[in-house]
Structure 1
Protein backbone atom coordinates (compact mmCIF):
# COMPACT_ATOMS: atom_id res chain seq x y z
CA UNK A 1 0.00 0.00 0.00
CA UNK A 2 1.36 3.40 -1.01
CA UNK A 3 0.88 6.44 1.18
CA UNK A 4 1.56 10.04 0.38
CA UNK A 5 3.18 11.91 3.24
CA UNK A 6 3.23 15.68 3.14
CA UNK A 7 5.44 17.69 5.41
CA UNK A 8 3.27 19.74 7.70
CA UNK A 9 3.79 23.45 7.43
CA UNK A 10 3.72 25.45 10.66
CA UNK A 11 0.63 27.54 11.18
CA UNK A 12 1.02 31.26 10.37
CA UNK A 13 -0.58 33.37 13.09
CA UNK A 14 -1.50 37.00 12.39
CA UNK A 15 -0.60 39.10 15.43
CA UNK A 16 -0.63 42.82 16.22
CA UNK A 17 1.54 44.68 18.71
CA UNK A 18 1.06 48.12 20.19
CA UNK A 19 4.01 50.40 20.74
CA UNK A 20 2.10 52.34 23.37
CA UNK A 21 3.35 55.89 23.83
CA UNK A 22 2.65 57.98 26.90
CA UNK A 23 4.57 61.14 27.80
CA UNK A 24 7.50 60.29 25.53
CA UNK A 25 7.97 56.76 26.88
CA UNK A 26 6.90 53.37 25.53
CA UNK A 27 5.44 50.38 27.34
CA UNK A 28 7.24 47.04 27.38
CA UNK A 29 5.51 44.09 29.02
CA UNK A 30 7.18 40.93 30.33
CA UNK A 31 5.72 37.57 29.34
CA UNK A 32 4.90 35.14 32.17
CA UNK A 33 7.69 32.70 33.10
CA UNK A 34 5.72 29.59 32.07
CA UNK A 35 4.48 30.94 28.72
CA UNK A 36 5.99 30.60 25.27
CA UNK A 37 8.88 33.11 25.16
CA UNK A 38 8.62 33.25 28.97
CA UNK A 39 10.34 36.15 30.79
CA UNK A 40 11.06 37.95 27.52
CA UNK A 41 9.79 41.48 26.99
CA UNK A 42 7.39 42.49 24.23
CA UNK A 43 5.11 45.12 22.90
CA UNK A 44 1.69 43.98 24.13
CA UNK A 45 -0.97 42.83 21.69
CA UNK A 46 -2.30 39.57 20.37
CA UNK A 47 -3.95 37.58 17.64
CA UNK A 48 -6.16 39.10 14.98
CA UNK A 49 -9.52 37.31 15.12
CA UNK A 50 -11.61 36.53 12.06
CA UNK A 51 -13.46 39.61 10.81
CA UNK A 52 -11.24 42.10 12.67
CA UNK A 53 -8.99 44.73 11.19
CA UNK A 54 -5.53 44.97 12.77
CA UNK A 55 -6.57 48.24 14.48
CA UNK A 56 -9.70 46.62 15.95
CA UNK A 57 -7.71 43.61 17.15
CA UNK A 58 -5.08 45.81 18.76
CA UNK A 59 -7.63 47.95 20.61
CA UNK A 60 -9.40 44.80 21.86
CA UNK A 61 -6.22 43.03 22.92
CA UNK A 62 -4.79 46.03 24.77
CA UNK A 63 -8.07 46.47 26.63
CA UNK A 64 -8.18 42.75 27.53
CA UNK A 65 -4.50 42.48 28.53
CA UNK A 66 -3.93 45.86 30.18
CA UNK A 67 -7.40 47.35 30.90
CA UNK A 68 -6.57 50.49 28.92
CA UNK A 69 -8.10 52.31 25.99
CA UNK A 70 -5.77 53.26 23.16
CA UNK A 71 -5.94 54.86 19.74
CA UNK A 72 -4.06 52.97 17.04
CA UNK A 73 -1.73 55.21 15.11
CA UNK A 74 0.79 54.68 12.34
CA UNK A 75 2.07 51.29 11.23
CA UNK A 76 5.74 50.87 12.16
CA UNK A 77 6.87 47.51 10.78
CA UNK A 78 5.98 43.94 9.95
CA UNK A 79 7.98 41.05 11.34
CA UNK A 80 7.75 37.40 10.36
CA UNK A 81 9.40 35.01 12.78
CA UNK A 82 9.48 31.21 12.75
CA UNK A 83 9.36 29.80 16.27
CA UNK A 84 9.51 26.22 14.94
CA UNK A 85 6.00 25.11 15.90
CA UNK A 86 4.39 28.30 14.56
CA UNK A 87 5.18 31.29 12.39
CA UNK A 88 4.22 34.69 13.74
CA UNK A 89 3.38 37.48 11.29
CA UNK A 90 3.53 40.49 13.59
CA UNK A 91 2.34 43.97 12.63
CA UNK A 92 3.57 46.73 14.92
CA UNK A 93 1.66 49.99 15.32
CA UNK A 94 2.18 53.12 17.32
CA UNK A 95 -0.60 53.27 19.89
CA UNK A 96 -1.59 56.25 21.97
CA UNK A 97 -2.83 55.90 25.54
CA UNK A 98 -6.33 57.33 25.89
CA UNK A 99 -7.69 56.17 29.26
CA UNK A 100 -7.57 53.53 31.94
CA UNK A 101 -5.42 52.38 34.82
CA UNK A 102 -2.79 49.84 33.77
CA UNK A 103 -3.57 46.32 35.03
CA UNK A 104 -1.45 43.30 34.07
CA UNK A 105 -3.86 40.51 33.09
CA UNK A 106 -1.45 38.65 30.77
CA UNK A 107 2.02 39.79 31.82
CA UNK A 108 4.17 39.55 34.95
CA UNK A 109 5.73 43.01 34.73
CA UNK A 110 5.71 46.21 32.69
CA UNK A 111 8.05 49.18 32.31
CA UNK A 112 7.92 52.57 30.63
CA UNK A 113 11.13 53.25 28.71
CA UNK A 114 12.52 55.52 26.04
CA UNK A 115 13.22 53.99 22.65
CA UNK A 116 16.97 54.04 23.39
CA UNK A 117 16.47 52.20 26.72
CA UNK A 118 14.77 49.24 25.00
CA UNK A 119 18.20 47.73 24.25
CA UNK A 120 18.55 46.99 27.99
CA UNK A 121 15.70 44.45 27.83
CA UNK A 122 15.67 40.99 26.27
CA UNK A 123 12.82 41.25 23.80
CA UNK A 124 11.00 38.51 21.90
CA UNK A 125 12.79 38.06 18.56
CA UNK A 126 9.69 39.01 16.57
CA UNK A 127 9.61 42.43 18.28
CA UNK A 128 13.15 43.45 17.28
CA UNK A 129 12.28 44.79 13.78
CA UNK A 130 9.61 46.97 15.42
CA UNK A 131 12.20 48.42 17.81
CA UNK A 132 14.44 49.19 14.82
CA UNK A 133 11.58 50.92 12.99
CA UNK A 134 10.78 52.98 16.10
CA UNK A 135 14.41 54.03 16.52
CA UNK A 136 14.63 55.05 12.84
CA UNK A 137 11.42 57.03 13.17
CA UNK A 138 12.65 58.85 16.26
CA UNK A 139 16.02 59.67 14.77
CA UNK A 140 14.39 61.04 11.65
Structure 2
Protein backbone atom coordinates (compact mmCIF):
# COMPACT_ATOMS: atom_id res chain seq x y z
CA UNK A 1 0.00 0.00 0.00
CA UNK A 2 1.30 3.43 -0.91
CA UNK A 3 0.65 6.60 0.99
CA UNK A 4 -3.00 7.39 1.34
CA UNK A 5 -3.61 10.52 -0.65
CA UNK A 6 -4.65 13.29 1.68
CA UNK A 7 -6.78 16.16 0.41
CA UNK A 8 -7.06 19.37 2.36
CA UNK A 9 -10.46 21.00 2.39
CA UNK A 10 -11.25 24.29 4.12
CA UNK A 11 -14.71 25.23 5.34
CA UNK A 12 -16.24 28.42 6.66
CA UNK A 13 -18.37 28.76 9.77
CA UNK A 14 -19.69 32.08 8.57
CA UNK A 15 -21.31 34.20 11.27
CA UNK A 16 -23.68 37.10 10.74
CA UNK A 17 -26.21 38.56 13.22
CA UNK A 18 -25.79 35.57 15.57
CA UNK A 19 -26.61 33.17 12.77
CA UNK A 20 -24.43 30.76 10.84
CA UNK A 21 -24.53 29.99 7.13
CA UNK A 22 -25.23 26.36 6.27
CA UNK A 23 -25.41 25.02 2.71
CA UNK A 24 -27.10 21.95 1.28
CA UNK A 25 -25.26 19.80 -1.24
CA UNK A 26 -27.10 19.26 -4.51
CA UNK A 27 -28.39 15.88 -5.64
CA UNK A 28 -25.49 15.33 -8.07
CA UNK A 29 -22.69 15.80 -5.53
CA UNK A 30 -21.14 13.17 -3.29
CA UNK A 31 -23.14 12.98 -0.06
CA UNK A 32 -26.18 14.42 -1.86
CA UNK A 33 -28.61 16.74 -0.04
CA UNK A 34 -26.66 16.68 3.21
CA UNK A 35 -25.88 19.99 4.89
CA UNK A 36 -22.37 21.33 5.37
CA UNK A 37 -20.30 24.36 6.16
CA UNK A 38 -19.37 25.75 2.72
CA UNK A 39 -15.80 25.61 1.45
CA UNK A 40 -13.57 23.66 -0.88
CA UNK A 41 -10.21 22.14 -1.69
CA UNK A 42 -6.90 23.89 -1.39
CA UNK A 43 -4.98 24.43 -4.61
CA UNK A 44 -1.27 23.47 -4.55
CA UNK A 45 0.79 26.07 -2.64
CA UNK A 46 -2.31 27.93 -1.51
CA UNK A 47 -2.70 29.27 2.02
CA UNK A 48 -5.73 27.98 3.93
CA UNK A 49 -7.27 31.41 4.41
CA UNK A 50 -6.73 32.35 0.76
CA UNK A 51 -8.36 29.10 -0.38
CA UNK A 52 -11.35 29.73 1.84
CA UNK A 53 -11.82 33.31 0.66
CA UNK A 54 -11.57 32.13 -2.97
CA UNK A 55 -13.93 29.17 -2.57
CA UNK A 56 -16.63 31.15 -0.78
CA UNK A 57 -16.40 33.85 -3.45
CA UNK A 58 -16.66 31.22 -6.23
CA UNK A 59 -19.47 29.18 -4.68
CA UNK A 60 -21.55 31.84 -2.96
CA UNK A 61 -20.37 35.23 -4.26
CA UNK A 62 -19.58 36.39 -0.73
CA UNK A 63 -16.57 38.20 0.68
CA UNK A 64 -15.51 36.81 4.04
CA UNK A 65 -12.80 37.28 6.65
CA UNK A 66 -11.42 34.11 8.30
CA UNK A 67 -10.80 34.86 11.98
CA UNK A 68 -10.25 31.66 13.95
CA UNK A 69 -8.99 28.23 12.93
CA UNK A 70 -10.64 25.29 14.66
CA UNK A 71 -9.44 21.69 14.96
CA UNK A 72 -9.09 19.92 11.60
CA UNK A 73 -11.08 16.72 11.10
CA UNK A 74 -9.70 13.75 9.15
CA UNK A 75 -12.13 11.44 7.43
CA UNK A 76 -11.99 8.73 4.80
CA UNK A 77 -13.96 9.14 1.62
CA UNK A 78 -13.52 6.08 -0.54
CA UNK A 79 -9.77 5.54 -0.87
CA UNK A 80 -8.95 9.15 -0.09
CA UNK A 81 -8.23 10.78 3.23
CA UNK A 82 -9.73 14.21 3.56
CA UNK A 83 -8.64 16.76 6.10
CA UNK A 84 -11.38 19.26 6.80
CA UNK A 85 -9.99 22.54 8.16
CA UNK A 86 -12.65 24.80 9.66
CA UNK A 87 -12.43 28.55 10.20
CA UNK A 88 -14.86 30.78 12.00
CA UNK A 89 -15.37 33.64 9.56
CA UNK A 90 -16.99 37.04 9.53
CA UNK A 91 -19.21 38.21 6.71
CA UNK A 92 -17.83 41.23 4.84
CA UNK A 93 -19.92 41.82 1.73
CA UNK A 94 -21.97 40.28 -1.05
CA UNK A 95 -25.36 38.71 -1.65
CA UNK A 96 -25.54 34.94 -1.82
CA UNK A 97 -25.84 33.38 -5.25
CA UNK A 98 -25.78 29.60 -5.22
CA UNK A 99 -23.37 28.24 -7.81
CA UNK A 100 -23.11 24.60 -6.70
CA UNK A 101 -25.42 24.11 -3.76
CA UNK A 102 -29.11 23.33 -3.75
CA UNK A 103 -30.04 25.58 -0.83
CA UNK A 104 -28.71 27.66 2.00
CA UNK A 105 -29.99 28.94 5.33
CA UNK A 106 -28.81 31.39 7.95
CA UNK A 107 -29.38 29.15 10.96
CA UNK A 108 -29.63 30.12 14.58
CA UNK A 109 -26.95 28.38 16.63
CA UNK A 110 -29.60 26.68 18.75
CA UNK A 111 -30.99 25.02 15.62
CA UNK A 112 -27.76 23.86 14.02
CA UNK A 113 -28.06 20.30 15.34
CA UNK A 114 -31.42 19.92 13.55
CA UNK A 115 -29.84 19.65 10.10
CA UNK A 116 -28.87 16.42 8.37
CA UNK A 117 -25.11 17.05 8.29
CA UNK A 118 -22.28 15.55 6.30
CA UNK A 119 -20.50 13.26 8.79
CA UNK A 120 -17.20 15.15 8.58
CA UNK A 121 -18.88 18.41 9.59
CA UNK A 122 -20.31 17.01 12.83
CA UNK A 123 -17.12 17.28 14.92
CA UNK A 124 -16.66 20.81 13.57
CA UNK A 125 -20.21 21.68 14.59
CA UNK A 126 -19.72 20.27 18.10
CA UNK A 127 -16.46 22.17 18.64
CA UNK A 128 -18.06 25.36 17.38
CA UNK A 129 -21.09 25.01 19.64
CA UNK A 130 -18.88 24.33 22.66
CA UNK A 131 -16.81 27.40 21.89
CA UNK A 132 -19.78 29.67 21.38
CA UNK A 133 -21.54 28.40 24.50
CA UNK A 134 -18.42 29.23 26.50
CA UNK A 135 -18.41 32.74 25.13
CA UNK A 136 -22.10 33.45 25.83
Q: TM-score, normalised by structure 1?
A: 0.91
Task: Find the counterpart in structure 2 of residue 3 from structure 1.
Answer: none
Partner residue of 1:119 out of 90, 104, 113: 113
Does the 8 A contact of 1:88 with 1:126 survive in 2?
no
C-alpha displacement at 1:10, in angstroms? Answer: 4.2
Q: Is 1:115–1:131's contact at 8 Å kept on the other side of the alignment?
A: no
CA contact (8 A) 1:31 1:42 kept: yes
User: Contact between 1:18 and 1:93, CA under 8 Å: does it hold in 2?
Assistant: yes
Measure, in 2, the Cα distance between the counterparts of 1:10 and 1:34: 26
Corresponding position: 1:139 with 2:113 = no
TM-score (norm 2): 0.94
What CA distance in whole angstroms lies between the structure 1 residues aligned with 2:96 and 2:46? Answer: 24
Aligned pairs, how many? 134
Question: What CA deviation, in whole Å up to 9, does each residue of 1:22-50 have, x standing for no partner?
Answer: 11000000001111011000000000111
Q: Which residue of 1 aligns with 2:38?
A: 44
**Equivalent in the alignment of 1:99:** 93
Structure 1 runs, 4 residues or longer, greater than 6 Å off: none
Match of 2:64 in 1: 70
Gaps of at least 5 residues in structure 1 are 1-6
- Shift in Å at residue 139 of structure 1? 1.2
SS at match of 1:46: strand
Q: Does 1:19 align with 2:38?
A: no
